[in-house]
């Protein structure tokens, strides 16, 4: 297994439990749990690689993780700082009423937003056209344009329309970031779950040891959860990813009153601030630990977080299925956190 995150940990545990297999898990980092890794710092449970909220509508998945850790109810309510003030995300009825200074009913708001869209756009071909057609210029420029340029490092016209299609606009006062039935955070952190999954006499974990292709012949099968282009040693080119830089700062008391606040203005260099103690409201801490989060192009040695999925990336990935057909001893698994929208971290795939 290449990677000690959720994907490989679950697969390894299922295989050794259901069959007479042995599993060796290679992990290049000095810890398990991948980008979900959590650890205590001055008593506060810190999400080391950015916030993760477990969310699923599949009851069997929810029951599976609850068998591994007590799951504490948690609703992610994100705020956005714009040039016009602080608002709730995703855009909902409260956001619309506050932003435009109105008292719309749900139906009035729906009709009003429909008048804002650019009717000259047919089928949206990119992120910007999708936003302008369905939200209009005001909402797009204040909530999405600057944030998108910071997060992705390109003009929104270069990004696929599908990214924005997955961000909901609600015509009620629901400011829950997710729509899934079951939502929560493990009481003892995500790393404790992965520890339990990997705690088996037929599972060997090798920390600080990345999987190398020349080791493949030593195993009956390989499950790989790293970057797709990395597995093929970039023979088909390099896919574009965005990486993250976290700038930590400590404060006393309560710094921002919310777990996550996005900063939508382009002149603010960071994309969001995370205040970790608010992910565990059942705990009490006098101090607080915050991360300013910056997005950047992935360079050698960086952790790739978000695949860009630009047109040139799609063209490169066409070669991958052909390469996979000749390799029946390897499964390529998308990392549990490999998603297109920053902050949208699902754990049930």
pLDDT in tens, 11-43: 999 999 998 899 999 999 999 999 999 999 999
Show the beta-strand stretches assigned E in 51-210: 54-56, 71-73, 78-82, 85-89, 182-186, 203-207
Model confidence at 341, in pLDDT bands (50, 70, 90)?
very low
145 and 292 share one domain: yes
Q: Specify the higher pLDDT residue, 106 or 346.
A: 106
Which pair of structure tokens corresponds to residue 256? 């921002």
The C-alpha atoms of residue 62 and residue 80 are separated, in whole angstroms, by 29
What are 155-188's pLDDT values in tens digits?
999 998 888 877 779 999 999 999 999 999 999 9
Using the predicted structure, report yes or no on whether residue 123 has a pLDDT greater than 80: yes
Residue 314 lies in domain? 6-52+187-236+307-332
In the chain, the number of structural domains is 2
Q: Which residues contact 204 (CB under 8 A, 6 or more apart)?
A: 22, 23, 24, 25
Q: What are the φ/ψ torsions at residue 197 (nearest 5 degrees)?
A: -60, -40
Helices and strands, counts by H and E, the chain? 12, 16
Using the predicted structure, report yes or no on whether residue 198 has a pLDDT greater than 90: yes
Which helix (H) or strand (E) segment holds residue 108: the answer is helix 106-116
116 and 264 share one domain: yes
Cis peptide before 145 (omega within 30 of 0): no
118 and 218 share one domain: no
26 and 128 share one domain: no
26 and 98 share one domain: no
Residue 251 forms part of a structural domain? yes
pTM of the model: 0.91
Model confidence at 324, in pLDDT bands (50, 70, 90)?
low
Mean pLDDT, rounded, for 200-212: 96
Supply angle C-alpha 57, 200, 339, rounded to 5: 35
137 and 82 share one domain: yes
Residue 83 forms part of a structural domain? yes
The percent of the chain in helix, strand and coil, each rounded to the nearest 5, is 30, 25, 45
Residue 135 forms part of a structural domain? yes
Query: Euclidean distance between the first and final Cα of the chain, in Å?
Result: 17
Are 333 and 8 in contact by the 8 Å Cβ rule? The answer is yes
Q: Specify the higher pLDDT residue, 163 or 247.
A: 247
Number of Cβ within 10 Å of residue 6's Cβ equals 27
The C-alpha atoms of residue 89 and residue 193 are separated, in whole angstroms, by 29
Mean per-residue pLDDT over the chain, rounded? 90
Which helix (H) or strand (E) segment holds residue 190: the answer is helix 190-198
Q: How high is the pLDDT of residue 213?
A: 84
The CATH number of whichever domain residue 130 belongs to comes to 3.90.660
Using the predicted structure, report yes or no on whether residue 342 has a pLDDT greater than 50: no
Residue 262 forms part of a structural domain? yes
Using the predicted structure, report yes or no on whether residue 148 has a pLDDT greater than 80: yes
Residue 57 forms part of a structural domain? no
What are 50-96's pLDDT values in tens digits?
999 999 999 999 999 999 999 999 999 999 999 999 999 999 999 99
Cβ-defined contacts of 117-120 (< 8 Å, 24+): none
222 and 247 share one domain: no
Model confidence at 348, in pLDDT bands (50, 70, 90)?
low
């Amino acid at each position: 297994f290449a990677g000690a995150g959720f994907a490989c940990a679950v697969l390894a545990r299922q295989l050794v439990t259901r069959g007479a297999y042995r599993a060796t898990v290679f992990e290049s980092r000095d810890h398990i749990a991948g980008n979900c890794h959590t650890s205590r710092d001055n008593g506060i449970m810190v999400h080391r690689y950015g916030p993760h909220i477990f969310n699923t509508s599949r009851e069997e998945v929810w029951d599976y993780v609850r068998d591994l850790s007590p799951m504490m109810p948690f609703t992610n309510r994100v705020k956005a700082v714009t040039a016009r003030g602080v608002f709730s995300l995703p855009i909902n009825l409260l956001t619309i009423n506050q932003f435009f200074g109105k008292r719309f009913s749900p139906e009035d708001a729906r009709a009003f937003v429909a008048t804002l869209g650019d009717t000259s756009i047919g089928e949206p071909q990119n992120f910007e056209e999708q936003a302008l057609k369905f939200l209009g210029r005001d909402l797009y420029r204040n909530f999405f344009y600057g944030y998108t340029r910071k997060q992705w490092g390109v003009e929104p016209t270069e990004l696929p329309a599908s990214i924005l299609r997955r961000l909901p606009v609600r015509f009620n006062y629901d400011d829950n970031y997710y729509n899934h039935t079951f939502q929560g955070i493990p009481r003892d952190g995500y790393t404790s779950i992965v520890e339990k999954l990997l705690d088996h006499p037929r599972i060997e974990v090798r920390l600080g040891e990345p999987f190398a292709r020349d080791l493949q012949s030593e195993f009956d099968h390989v499950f790989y959860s790293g970057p797709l282009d990395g597995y093929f040693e970039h023979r088909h080119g390099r896919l574009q990813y965005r990486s993250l830089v976290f700038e930590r700062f400590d404060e006393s008391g309560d710094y921002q009153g919310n777990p996550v606040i996005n900063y939508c203005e382009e002149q603010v260099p960071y994309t969001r601030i995370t205040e970790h103690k608010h992910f565990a409201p059942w705990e009490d801490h006098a101090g607080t630990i915050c991360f300013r989060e910056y997005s950047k192009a992935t360079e050698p040695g960086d952790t790739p977080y978000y695949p860009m999925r630009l047109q040139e990336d799609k063209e490169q990935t066409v070669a991958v299925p052909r390469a996979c057909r000749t390799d029946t001893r390897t499964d390529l698994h998308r990392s549990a956190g490999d998603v297109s929208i920053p902050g949208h971290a699902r754990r049930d795939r």
